[in-house]
Each structure stands twice: as structure tokens, then as C-alpha cells.
Structure 1
Amino acid sequence: MSSDLIIDVSPSEVVIALLENKRLVELTREKSGAKFAVGDIYLAKVKKIMPSLNAAFIDVGYEKDAFLHYLDMGPQFSTLNKFMKIASSKKNRISSLSKIHSLPDINKEGKVTEVLKAGQNILVQIAKEPISTKGPRLTSELSIAGRNLVLMPFSDKVSVSQKISSTEEKNRLKKLIQSIRPKKYGVIVRTVAEGKRVAELDQELKRLVAKFETTFQKLKIATAPALIVGEMDRTTALLRDIYTPTFNSIIVNDAAVADDIADYIATIAPEKRKIVKTYKGGQPIFEYFGVDKQVKASFGQTVSFKNGAYLIIEHTEAFHVIDVNSGNRSKAGVDQETNALEVNLAAAEEVARQLRLRDMGGIIVIDFIDMHGAGNRQKVFERMKEAMGDDRTKHNILPLSKFCLMQITRQRVRPEEHVETAEVCPSCKGTGKVMPSILFTDELSSKVNYIFKDLNKKSLTLKVHPYVAAFLTKGIHSIKRKWAFKYFRRITVEGVNAYSFLEYHFYDDNLEEIIL
């Protein structure tokens, strides 16, 4: 399986599209200057204790208070609190966790009022980003994630990913980490560490420890609420988690971001640095690589997937519902049960893709086409498990009921990706009425005249729907050529498939849009 990463960088956001075998499977957006990402560590202040929930509301600087449950504080909460007080002290000269004496673990069955009080400063980490009307969800079991390892301060445990099947390799990695880890640090060995040498793991471990120990200096000058350790940007974090040797290319439309990604790739796979390329084409990067078209086809309430079959996807505050429909799909001479099985097997693969693509979390209920055979229901269940094997998000799949309903629970750590595929007509602005089409070229001519005469632009690029582009450029005496001779300026007309019929945009010689 080949994988490609297409990254669209704009002043307001970075959009990352992951393609597997040229098919869009993940789409993530990161707003410029975005805060409260999963993994960020904050010095926060306890705002309100909720004994009935055995939890507390915490001020991390977000508009709504974050939520911390007692069970998410972690057994080493007392030691973490002690560390925070020592590190925040102006007289502190301690620069290593090994010099801090550990306190006993907090009681598993304890109450939040026993360890927290309003106004108290604590160290917390974002476990879930703000979603809908809810603020961030927090944990005090801090962790610093790397490519091969996850560092767990204040812990002494070493655990190895269950996805590593070889018992011999698990034992090797566990012994290796136990021999190199510093005191007061636990480590989780990730799946990609399989087969890695001690030098590479030791280098990464030292880098993660150094990253965490910057908190000693930051806590001295920080005032709650304040960001203490920031997770790397979403682009690099995604690469850290999903990069595999099967990556064919990573294509970015920004040279500076491409250099940053190339530098990161060089640290984890030096021989793959050359797969990072800068896109310099005139078309928008997502349009050139066909991402825009896949986005329009994959989002929305109805999604077609095979031979006329389609999914209907509905969202509620409580859960998501997906209905499988065979549409007009039918095969002569094939009984209903076989036909239903074929549609359901194909639907399982598309549902798995949709869950990753939209990052749907919580409870998902799928209504498959009715099948009477228990063996056929088991086949659909197995296909779903196989299709979701590449999904990194924690999930649990239950077998189909006799009514062919399947329930999936999938961890939700950030808001669901939503793309509105229905567009308001840019010509009529939703009114249902447009100017006479015979006057459309007159409007364009008027604006071209204004751009050259009043704004004194040296050249011009006009982007329109391909049909309009063909009309403007057809023949020897085309409208485009008449404009060029009239103003003695260079004019380029480009067709953009994503535009609606009468939509148009003007760009100057620096390819910056001219707002009229």
C-alpha cells in the first residue's frame, strides 16, 4: 500500500490530507496559532470543586473551564504536586526528577476534595480538545510522546505495545529500556520501535527527557493559566504517528514548512528526506492532486460507494447513525441474501474510511442490510475489524445483532471534521435569481478595465469555471485576446473545476487575489 501526504498551507490554517493508494482516508485542519491541542501541558488553576461528580473544573485559559475527574489525576498526583511546588520556587536549584523524593500514591477510591481545593495551582495535560459546548478534558498523568517511545514522568513502569507480536522482541525492548531509562521516568514502547537499535532509542529517550525538564525553568516564571510544554504542530505530530516506510511522497505548497518536515523526516528516516517536495504549480494544491473532488464526494449526508449503493450518515449530540442502502444495485440471478452480503462487505470498508476521514467519535450505530444467515453476519463483522485495523484511534466493535445493527465506540479527542458540501450559489447568493447571462461578460470586461486602468496592475489572472474559461478563450478573436490588445497587458484565463458556473476571481502577478 502506498501513502501520500498532501499539505495545503494558508495564512489562516494548515490542511493535511492523507491518501492511501490515491484514496483520501484522513483530513485534518490546524488553525494558525491553535491552542489546547491534545498533549499540551498547562500550569492551571482549580476553579471549582464538584464533589457530586468527584471532579473539578480547571482554568487553563480557555473560554470554558476544563474538566478533570479524580480518576484522571493518576496515582502519582501527590508527587506531581510536590514537583510543581519545588519547580515554581524561586530558590529551586533542582534540575532532575531523580532528586525529588516520591510521595505515596493517592487512594484509588478517594475523593477529589481530599487532594484539591479551589484556587490551587496544578499541572495538567490536554486529553481531549474542546468539543461542541464542552471545554477541554484533562489528565494529570503526564506523558511526552515521541516517534518510538512515550515518556511517563513520575512512573517506574516500562510497557511494550501489544501490537508487537513477537514475545522475544517484547522482552528485548523491555530489558533495553529498563537499562537506559532515567530514574523517576516510565516508558511506553510504541509499535514502530520494533527492531530498533539501542542507540536510536537512547537518543530519543534523552530528547524526550530534555523536553520535559524544560518545565523546571518555565514553572519559575509562569503564572497560571500558562502553557508549559506544547505539543509539536499538528503536521509534525501526524507524521510522528503515521509515518511508515510505504510513504511515497509528502508534498507541501510552502517551502518553509517543507523544510521543517524534511528536517523532521531526516531524524527518523534519513534516507526518506528526498520524498518531501515543494509544490510550485499554479493550480491550488488540493485541486491539482484531486483532493478537493474526493472531499466533495466523501462528505455530506449521502455517500456513494459501489455500484449504486450508498450510506446515509446522520449526526446527533448523543451518537452517530449510518444507514446502508443498496440503491438500484441488483444482479440478475443472485438471491437477496448474497446481494445483501456483497453490499454490506463493501459498506464495512467505506464506513471504516468515513470514521477516519471525519474523525467521528463516541457511539456509532450502523444499520446494515438485513441478512438471515449468522455466518454472513460474522463475515461482515470480520471485514469491519479488518478494515479498521489501520485506525490508530482506540475503538471497540461489537458483532452484528440479529437485526443487522452494529455498534462501534471510538475515542473522541478532538472535534469531528465537518465539510459542508452543499454550496450557496455565489451568483445569486441564495436568492434563486441571477443576472442575465448575456451581461456576464460585460461585468467581467468592466472589472478588467478597473483593474488595469484604476489599480494599474501589470498582469492579470482570471480564474473561472472551465466552461466559462473555454468561452473566453475560444477562437482567434477571443474575448481574452481582445482584452490583451486593448490594454497591452498579459492576461491569463484558468478554469477551476471547484468553481460554480458564474463564479470568478481575479489575481495579480504575485497570485494574490484582487478583492473588488
Structure 2
Amino acid sequence: MNKELIINVSPGGVEIALLEDKKLVELHTEKADANFAVGDLYLGKVKKLIPGLNAAFIDVGFEKDAFLHYTDLSPYARSLLKFTQMAIHDKGETPFDFSNFNVEPEIVKTGKINEVLNGKPSVLVQILKEPIAAKGPRLSCEISLPGRFVVLTPFNEIVAVSKKIHSAEERKRLQKIVEAIRPKNFGVIVRTAAEGKSTAELHQDLIALTENWKQIQLNLKGAVPPAKIMSEQDKTTSMLRDLLTVDFNRVVINDKNIYNDTKAYIQKIAPDKVDIVTYYNGPLPIFDQYGVTKQVKGSFGKTVNLPSGAYLIIEHTEALHVIDVNSGYKSVSNNQEENALQTNLEAAEEIARQLRLRDIGGIIVIDFIDMKLPDNKRKLQDAMEEYMKNDRAKHAVLPISKFGLMQITRQRMRPEVNINTSEICPTCGGTGMVTPSILLEDEMEKRLQYLVNHGHRQIELHVHPIVYAYLTKGWFTNIVKKWKKKFAIKLKVLPNNNYSFIEYHFFDENEEEIKF
């Protein structure tokens, strides 16, 4: 699979399109003034404890207080609170040695929020979910610092290896390496990208992350909540960090600064891939040049057409998303069951793409075309799971119910991407109202009367070709001849293909438009 990242930089922010085999599968937007992105670290102040929800509202500087549930506190919440206070009041010129930090006992899983955050302290928190609709950010106290190959988790001694690394021997090798080089008071999660990497590469990644932790300590020194302590990397580098694999073959950027930053970042994390970064300065917009704009226009409407003639209807409600699969004129055989299966398989591939592309989260209900055979239902479920394998968001696919519905849950990390693909109607100008076509002839005649009354004797009328045919048809029913005779003027009617159906304009003898 060929992967390409097309990056469009504008004054308003950065748009990032991920293409797989030339097909748009993800679209990310990073506004120039973006705050509260997933992974950002903030020093927040506890504003309100809600025992009934077992949660707290934290002021992190957003217009609405952020939400922190007890289950997101982390078992090491007391250690985090202690560390936060020590870092804020640290008087030394350099950060205190974290390896000498005494970790506090873990909190119990079934505890109460007011037992941990009593006194409404200041606390270091990480954005778990961006603000969505009327909700503030969702927070976590389980601090994690992601790198290229490993994720650093302070206050614990746990080493875990990604389950996506299937080789038991490789998992064991990575476990031994990381246990040997892991800094004290830090846990480490080994990412899938670490498969086959050397001790030196893993160690270099760990060193960079521990330096980030020291920077967090420095930024906390003397900080007053609410305050941003550290930002997640910008979306371009964070996507490259998470996605860069051997099948990534091109990154195209239309901004020189981000081009240089991206090239330097790839030089650091994967020197052998540095040549895939190219700078674009062509005459066309970058998204037009690489076919992204056309795919966006064709993919974000309520109706999504499939190559075979089948189509999807995607609807959003407050509680869930509903996707209806329609066969259109698709027909692969005379067998109705086989037709339904093939259409459903094609729809499943597009639905998996749409979930990533629009970043649809929560509960998704899909009404596939009815199938009777259990084997076909199983094939469809297996295909759906396979198509969603590349989806980085956590998800679960349930079997098709007896009503023919498939339910999917998908993690929602940021607001759903929703692009308006409609354009303003050239006829009504977006008002939804036009002059009744039956009155068009009367309206033009009244305006002709007005022009004659104001001294015009030589007039050109430009109209849509269909209206032109109507006005000039026949010998006895020719409306233009009737007007010439009635008003005793020179009247010339000309067709214009660029006009909308009921659009028309009058011009005088100097070929200047007459405004009303």
C-alpha cells in the first residue's frame, strides 16, 4: 500500500490529507490558533467536585471547565499531585532528580474523587479529548509522552509491549532491552514501530522523552494555573511519528518552513526516508494538484456514491450515526443473495473509509441490504473488521442483528470532520426562492414598458437559450414580434449559455447593461 501525506498550509492553519493508494482516508485540520489538542499538558485548578458523578471540573483556561472522571485519575494520582507541587515550588536552577522521587501508594479503583482531590489542588493534566460541541476538554491524569518507538509513563515501573507485534520472540527481546535501559520511576510502553529496532535506537528515543519530562519540570516551576505546560507536537510531525512506515512514499508540503521542519524531523527519526519529503510551489492549489479537493467534494455529502452504482446515506443524530446502504442499479448476478453480499462488501469498504475520513465516533448503526444466509453475514462482519484494521481509533464491530443491522463503536478523540459540499444556487443566490417562471414573460414585458417610457428605442435582451426559444418560437405566436409592434422599438433577443434559466439582462444601443 502506498501512503502519501499532502499538507496544505494557509494563513488560517494547516490541512493534512492522508492518501492510501491515491484514495483519501484521513483529513486533519489544525487551526493557526488551535489550543487544547489531544496530548497537550496543562496545569489546571480543581474548581468543583461532583461526588454524584465521581468526577471533577478543572479550569485549564477553556471557556468551559474541563471534565476529569475518577477512572481517568491514574493509580498514581497522589504521586502526580505531589510531583506537581514539588515542581511548582522548586527553587533550584535545574530540575530536581526525578529518579530520587518517592512514589506514593496507588489509589483504589473504587475510590471517591473527593478523597483524592480534596482541598481543590492544582494538578498536572493531559488533554484526553478535544472540546466537542458544547463540552469542554476531557482530561486524564495518566500522563504519557509518546515517542517514535516507545511511550514514557511516569510514576510506575511497568514495561509493556504492543500486542500488534505478533512474534513472541520479538516481544521478549524488546521487553528485555527496555527493562535494561528504562530510567527509574518511569514505565515504558513499546510501540509497534519498535519491531526490529536496535537497543541504540530505542535508547535514543527514551533519552529524548526523558528530556521532555525535564522540560515539563522546568515549565511547572512557578507556574500559576491555568497554564499550558507543554504542547503535543504539531499535527504534521505527530502524524509522521505515528504513521511513518516503509510503505510511506511521499510527503508533499506547500510551505517552506514546515517543509524544512518536516525534513529535519524525518532526518532524525528515519534518515533513510528523508527523500520522500518534497516542496510544492506549482500554479494550482496543492489539494487541486493531487486530487484531494475533488475527493473531499465527493466524500462529505449526505449521499456517498459507490463505483458500482450503489450508494450510502449518512445521517447524524444527537445519540448516534446511521448509515443506510442502497443497491442502486448494481447487479452482479441473477441471484438476489449474491447481489446483496457483493453490494454490502463494497459498502463496508467505503464505510470503513468514511469513519476515518470524517472521524465519526460514538455509536454507528449500519443498515446493510438484507441477507438470509448466516455464512454471508459472517463474511460481511469479517470483511468489516479487516477494512477497519488500519483505523488507529479504538473500535468494536458487533455481529449483524436479526434485524439486519450492524453496530460499531468507535473512539471519538476530536470533533467530527464535517465539510459543507453544497454551493450557492446561481439562480436564487442561496435564498431558496426564485421568480415563478410562469410570470417571467409578464415581468420582462413590464420592464420593457419602463424602458420605453424612459426613452429607450433600441434594446438588446440577453436570456437563457431555452427562454430564447420560447420568446422567438412560431410566426403568429412570436412574443418578440409582438413586443416590437406594441412598443414600436428595435428589439434584439440573444441567447447566453452562461445564464441560469430565469436570468435575463437588458442592454442599450451602446451595449451597456441597463440596471434597474
Q: TM-score range by the shorter chain?
A: 0.7 to 0.9
Q: Which residue of structure 1 lines up, in the alignment, with residue 297 of structure 2? A: 296
| Conserved? CA contact 2:40–2:231, under 8 Å | yes
Q: Give matches, 1:53-132, under 5 Å.
A: 53-92=53-92, 95-117=96-118, 119-132=120-133
Q: CA deviation at 1:221?
A: 2.6
* Residue 117 of structure 1, CA deviation: 3.1
> Are the aligned partners of 2:95 and 2:214 in contact in 1 as well (CA < 8 Å)?
no
Q: Distance in 1 between matches of 2:419 and 2:325?
A: 21
Q: Which residue of 1 aligns with 2:220?
A: 219
| Counterpart mapping for 1:468-507 below 5 A | none
**Per-residue displacement from partner, 1:71-130 (whole Å, max 9, x unpaired)?**
110111111111111111143565222111111111211111111136421111000000
Q: For 1:29-76, what per-residue CA distance to the aligned partner results, in whole angstroms no more than 9, with x for missing partners?
A: 000121100001110000110000000000010011100011110111
1:423 CA displacement: 1.6
Q: Which residue of 1 aligns with 2:258?
A: 257
Residues 212 and 229 in structure 1, CA contact (< 8 A), matched pair in contact too: no
> Contact between 1:129 and 1:137, CA under 8 Å: does it hold in 2?
yes
Aligned residue number for residue 350 of structure 1: 350
The residue type paired with residue 13 of structure 2 is E
Partner of 2:368: 368
Would the aligned equivalents of 2:89 and 2:222 in 1 still touch at CA under 8 Å? no
Deviation at 1:180, TM superposition (A): 0.2
* Equivalent in the alignment of 2:307: 306
Q: Which residue of 2 aligns with 1:385?
A: 385
Q: Which amino acid aligns with 2:362?
A: G
What is the SS of the residue equivalent to 2:273? helix
Give unmatched runs, 5+ long, in structure 2: 436-499, 502-516
User: Given that residues 45 and 121 in structure 1 are in contact (C-alpha distance below 8 angstroms), is that contact kept between their aligned partners in structure 2?
Assistant: yes
Q: Deviations over 1:439-479 (max 9, x none)?
A: xxxxxxxxxxxxxxxxxxxxxxxxxxxxxxxxxxxxxxxxx
TM (normalized to structure 2)?
Answer: 0.82
Contact 1:49 1:118 in 2 (8 A): no
1:202 is paired with a residue whose SS is: helix
Name whichever of 264-273 and 112-121 sits farther off. Answer: 112-121
Shift of 1:306: 2.9
Q: Distance in 2 between matches of 1:147 and 1:325?
A: 42
State the partner residue of 2:243. Answer: 242
Q: Is the 8 A contact 1:306 1:346 kept in 2?
A: no
8 Å Cα contact 2:130-2:413 kept in structure 1: yes
What is the one-letter code of the residue matched to 1:301? Answer: K
Range moving further from structure 2, 212-221 or 151-160: 212-221
Instruction: Give, in whole Å, the separation in 2 of the partners of 1:297 and 1:94.
Output: 53
Q: Paired residue for 2:4?
A: 4
Q: Residue by residue, what CA displacement relative to the aligned partner does 1:325-377 show, whole Å, maximum 9, x if unpaired?
A: 0012224x521101000000111100000000001111111110000000000
What amino acid is the match of 1:12? G
Residues of 1 paired with 2:122 and 2:222: CA distance?
Answer: 14
Q: AA paired with 1:184? A: N
Q: What's 1:168 paired with? A: 169
2:287 aligned residue? 286
Partner Cα separation in structure 2 for residue 194 and residue 26 of structure 1: 25
Write the distance in 1 (CA, Å) between the matches of 2:296 and 2:91: 55
Q: Residue type matched to 1:46 in 2?
A: V
Does residue 191 (structure 1) correspond to residue 182 (structure 2)? The answer is no
Helix, strand or coil for the counterpart of 2:388?
helix
Query: Could you tell me whether the CA contact under 8 Å between 2:42 and 2:126 is conserved in 1?
Result: yes
Q: Distance in 2 between matches of 1:14 and 1:427?
A: 34
Equivalent position SS for 2:34 = coil
Aligned mates of 1:251, 1:427 — CA distance in 2:
39
Number of positions where the alignment pairs a residue of Structure 1 with one of Structure 2: 436
Q: Is the 8 A contact 1:45 1:119 kept in 2?
A: yes
Moved more, 395-404 or 187-196: 395-404
Distance 1:426 1:42, change over 3 A: farther
Structure 1 vs Structure 2 CA RMSD: 1.7
SS for the counterpart of 1:124 is strand
Aligned AA for 1:103? E
Equivalent residue, structure 1, for 2:324:
323
Amino acid in the other structure paired with 2:334: V
Matched, 1:200 2:201: yes
- What letter matches 1:266 in structure 2? Q
TM-score normalised by L of structure 1: 0.82
From the superposition, tell whether residues 426 and 68 of structure 1 become closer, same or farther in structure 2 (CA, over 3 Å).
farther
Q: Distance in 2 between matches of 1:246 and 1:413?
A: 26
Quote the Cα distance in structure 2 between the aligned partners of 1:119 and 1:155. Answer: 24
Q: 1:213 to 1:426 in 2, by over 3 A?
A: farther
Alignment partner of 1:134 is 2:135: yes
SS at match of 1:360: coil
> Counterparts of 1:283 and 1:425 in 2: how far apart (Å)?
25
Instruction: From the superposition, tell whether residues 94 and 413 of structure 1 become closer, same or farther in structure 2 (CA, over 3 Å).
Output: same
Q: Which runs of 5+ in 1 are unaligned?
A: 435-499, 502-516
Residues 232, 309 of structure 1: alpha-carbon distance in 2 compared, 3 angstrom cutoff: same
Superposed displacement of residue 246, structure 1: 1.1
Shift of 1:256: 0.9
Say if 1:187 and 1:336 are closer, same or farther in 2 by CA, change over 3 A.
same
Q: Which residue of 2 aligns with 1:443?
A: none
Residue type matched to 2:300 in 1? F
Q: Provide the C-alpha distance between the structure 2 equivalents of 1:360 and 1:100, rounded to a whole number of angstroms.
A: 42
- What SS class does the counterpart of residue 46 from structure 1 fall into? strand
Which residue does the alignment assign to 1:438?
none
